[in-house]
Amino acid sequence: MITVNISNQLESITGCKKILLEEIETELRVDEFKELLIKKCPKLSNLVNYIYFEKGGRVYKNNEDFFIKRGDTVNIFLNIFGG
């Protein structure tokens, strides 16, 4: 299972607070991860290109090589500063 914590800012926009991805068998690339997030919380679809990911204390932009696997906890948030 992968736990996705959603920032307060995104929660207020989407109504989603936490997403649990239980069906993960292997590593996911960022594009695959985004697809699953949208399936679980459709209101993220318009925001998914502005979402940043934090895992293990490191922040990843949405275009970086970012892999997640079973057991990971990921925090997602909007980049409100544009850079």
- CATH number at 33 reads 3.10.20.30
Name, in order, each residue with C-beta under 8 angstroms of 41's C-beta and a sequence gap of 6 or more.
6, 14, 15, 16, 19
How many CA within 13 A on the CB side of residue 73?
5
Instruction: Tell me the CA distances in angstroms from 30 to 34, 36, 81, one per residue in order.
Output: 6, 10, 21
Judge contact between 73 and 55, C-beta under 8 A. Answer: yes
What is the pLDDT at residue 12?
92
Whether 69 is in a domain gets the answer: yes
- Top pLDDT among 23 and 81 is at 23
Whether 59 is in a domain gets the answer: yes
**Count of residues making up the chain:** 83
CA distance 9 to 29: 24
Q: What is the pLDDT of residues 18-73, one digit of tens each?
A: 999 888 878 888 888 889 999 999 998 888 878 888 988 888 876 667 788 889 99
Whether 83 is in a domain gets the answer: no
Task: Identify the band that residue 74 occupies on the pLDDT scale cut at 50, 70 and 90.
Answer: very high
Give the domain extent around 22: 2-78
